[in-house]
Structure 1
Amino acid sequence: AIVSALIVESGGERFAIPQISVLELVRASNNSEHSIERIHDTPVLRLRNRLLPLVTLKRILGLDTSDATDDSLDEEAFIVVAQVGTYSFGIIVDRVFDTEEIVVKPVAPILRDLSLFSGNTILGDGSVIMILDPNGIATRTGEITVGGSQGVEGKAKQDASDRETTSMLVFRAGG
C-alpha cells in the first residue's frame, strides 16, 4: 500500500508517522502560547485550552542515551499532535522533515510483537526506516488500551475471558 507519511527524526534515527493520524505540528517553547507543563510528573502540552499527554519518542524507543529524566525536557520542542480514534496526544521528536508518499512493507516476523511499529519503507535516498504505529504509541501515554478505551465492566469481562482456558485436540485425518 502507498500512504502519505510525515518523516521525523528522534535519537539520530528517522521514522515515518502515517499522515492520517497527524493532526498538526507544534513548536512548543516557554515564550509561545504552546508550552509543555507538568501534571503529577507527567508532561502535557497546553494547546488551545486543552491538555494533551506527551510521550518522548526517543524514550519510548530506548534511543535516549543520556542520563536525563523527563525534568530536562527541552525548552523548545517539536511536537507531532496525533489522534487515534477520539484520543489526541503529542509525540516529542527531535526534528521534522517532510511529508512523503511511501510504500508500506510488512514488518519482519521477529518484530511483529512490537506494537510500536506497523511496517517499514525505503525512502528515495535508499535508507530503510520504520513506520510508527500511532495506536502503539498512544498506549504508551498510559491513557488508553490497544483496543481503545474500555469501561470498568468491559475490563472485568476481558480479564475473566483471559483467565479461561480452552482445550483443543489436534489431529491429522487421512494420513
Structure 2
Amino acid sequence: MLFTHDTEATLQAAVALVNSSDDPGDPLGSVADLSAFLAHWTYTGRHDATPAELDAVRRLRSALKELLLAERDEAVDIVNDMLARAKALPQLQRHDSLDWHLHAIDPDRPLDERVVVETAMAMVDVIRSDEMSRLDRCAADDCDDVVLDLSRNRSRRYCSTTCGNREAVAAYRARQKA
C-alpha cells in the first residue's frame, strides 16, 4: 500500500466526485445519489440529505479538480488555503471498524467543508511523499477526467476501463487502416 487506507479512500472518493459530471447521467443527480456516494466511500459525520447540501458538494468539483491536478508547489498553496479557511485542527480518531487515523474537522460541520478538508489532508500525504505524479488527466483524447494511479508500476493512464477500451479499439482500427 502506497498511502494509508484513509488517504487512499479519500483520494479515490475525491477523484470519483471530480469525475462525476453535471450531465443528465450525473451520478450525483439526487440527494439519494449523494447518500449512496457517502455510504460507498464511507464518509462519516453529519449528512443533512437536502438539495442545498447536494448543490454544495457538487460545487466542489472544480476546486477539487484544480487541487488534484496542480503542480506540487501550487498544490501546497491550495491545501494550506483550504485547511486555513476551514480552521482545520488535525486529531487522531478511531471509529467504526477503522483504527487510528486523522480527522481535521468536526463531524458536525457541513458535508462540503468536511469533503474539502478530508481531501486536503489526503493531499498532504501525496505532497509530502512527492507522489503528485499519481494524479493526472485521463490519456484518452476525448476525456478530461482525473486518473488516480495507485499501481506499483505507475501504469494507469485512463480514468476507466471504458476510456482504455475505446482508445485500444481506436488504435487497433488505425493499425488496420494503415
TM-score range, shorter chain: under 0.3
Question: Whose radius of gyration is greater, 1 or 2?
Answer: 1
Q: Return the structure number with greater helix share.
A: 2
How high is the TM-score relative to the length of structure 1? Answer: 0.25
Identify, as 1 or 2, the structure richer in strand. Answer: 1
